[in-house]
Amino acid sequence: MRSKISQISQWLLIVILVSIVAGSISALFLGSLSFVTNLRSNHDIFIYLLPIGGLLIGLMYFYGSRGVEGGNNLLIKEMNAPKTTIHWKIVPLVFIGTITTHLFGGSAGREGTAVQMGGAIGDAITYFFKWTKKHRKRLLRMGVAAGFSGVFGTPLAGAIFAFELARDKKFNIQDSILVIMTSFGGHIFCIIWGVNHTTYPVKMFPEFSWTLLLLVIIAGLSFGVSAYVFAKFKQFFTQLFSKIQIPFLRPMIGGIILLLLFITFKIRPFLGLGIPEIQDAFMQQQFEFSFLIKILLTALTLGAGFKGGEATPLFFIGAMLGNTLFLFLPLPMDFLAALGFVAVFGAATNTPIASSLIGAELFGFEGLLYFTIANFFAYIISGNNSVYSDQQKLLKKKSLFSRK
């Protein structure tokens, strides 16, 4: 009995420790992102220095990332088959790399940074509690959940994302409880630091009808196709830049291309996170091909080796596509933008349940049915693809795009 109480107490302590550290780092990360985004928005000189920023990131990772190469893919590998503890240095690497990317105007997100930092924090527990080494899968998921929920303010989705990101059928009720507790903990401690998460305007959800259901399915299929296109573009640019023999020059060359695009075309709204533009997509008509521009720029940015993540760009792509579908489908603009916001992300990352909960937590649980339907059909049609190459190897999904 005493042994059981002692074990429970130690796990509760671990939940608190991971929650405090992940939530605090998430708060610092969000504050830093806001600062550099405002700095870049007010001073174009940073965009003109994009190639220099790319070179700095390339050099930092070339000389400092030994043992933690792979980013999210490394995390997915360890979550499925733990072998080597993720070194703590991944935290400053991905933190600085992402902040640098956004300072100079790379089109990237933040979820990759959040889950990598969170996973490393969870894994670091094994240094202090040696007996937890046999529970690394649990610790990694606890850290991922805390990091994700801290950055996005969606604790339920964060907990589910930690399981969907790297599929593993061997988990139990204890894992689920601890991951959920840590996810809420990371969110709470991020809020304690005074962080205000972004809100998006959805006035109300349409009343249920079979016609509405059919329209949501059509929209979901469209979102799934866009997720497929994004995954393919990212794969294309990753392979293209891998042909450059000197690794640290890849993001610099990518920065040169992005700079030339900036000088030639009006792509300012598509740089960085693009949160104001996402909010606008819920309220007023946008350029019809905005989602395609964001697909191209984000795939180029990440394929070249800049750091960040895919989530917020995928939210951008989905919201803009939903905005465009408003021209063709008789549904409210904000409703379509919300559907796209979650469904493109769910299909591209193969996390449809977590994405449905993101919709519920951000826009209202009364829309959960519609988010689930849109996510399901987007997930099915998007094929055996993923923005995370190592996750793709774990999938056994059939769709219209499957070759087998």
Tell me the DSSP string of 133-162.
GGGHHHHHHHHHHHHHHHHHS-HHHHHHHH
Residue 270 DSSP code:
G
For residue 163, being part of any structural domain is answered with yes
188 and 95 fall within a common domain: yes
Which domain CATH number covers 387?
1.10.3080.10
pLDDT bin (cut points 50, 70, 90) of residue 65 is confident
- Cα–Cα distance measured from residue 1 to residue 17, given in angstroms and rounded to the nearest whole number: 24
For residue 397, being part of any structural domain is answered with no
In this prediction, residue 87 carries a pLDDT of: 86
Residue 206 DSSP code:
P
Residue 404 above 80 pLDDT? no
256 and 367 fall within a common domain: yes
238 and 163 fall within a common domain: no
Residue 207 DSSP code:
P
- Cα–Cα distance measured from residue 266 to residue 216, given in angstroms and rounded to the nearest whole number: 32
By residue range, what is the domain housing residue 16?
2-192
pLDDT tens, residue by residue, 37-63: 999 999 999 999 999 999 999 999 999
In this prediction, residue 394 carries a pLDDT of: 64
pLDDT tens, residue by residue, 223-264: 999 999 999 999 999 999 999 999 999 999 999 999 999 999
For residue 338, being part of any structural domain is answered with yes
Whose structure tokens read 């959960």?
A: 368
pLDDT bin (cut points 50, 70, 90) of residue 396 is low
187 and 235 fall within a common domain: no
Residue 266 above 50 pLDDT? yes
In this prediction, residue 397 carries a pLDDT of: 64
**Of residues 294 and 86, more confidently modeled:** 294
pLDDT bin (cut points 50, 70, 90) of residue 140 is very high
Extract the tokens encoding 65.
């990332």
* Three-class secondary structure assignment of 32-69: HHHHHHHHHHHCCHHHHCHHHHHHHHHHHHHHHCCCCC
216 and 166 fall within a common domain: no
Q: What is the mean pLDDT of the chain?
A: 93
330 and 188 fall within a common domain: no
pLDDT bin (cut points 50, 70, 90) of residue 79 is confident
For residue 24, being part of any structural domain is answered with yes
**Of residues 390 and 216, more confidently modeled:** 216
In this prediction, residue 190 carries a pLDDT of: 96
- Cα–Cα distance measured from residue 383 to residue 395, given in angstroms and rounded to the nearest whole number: 10
In the chain, how many domains are there?
2
Phi, psi of 166 (to 5 degrees): -125, 105
241 and 297 fall within a common domain: yes
Q: Which of 9-23, 58-72, 97-111, 303-317 has the lowest mean pLDDT?
A: 58-72
Q: Considering all CA atoms of the chain, what is the largest pairwise distance in Å, rounded to the nearest integer? A: 70
216 and 188 fall within a common domain: no
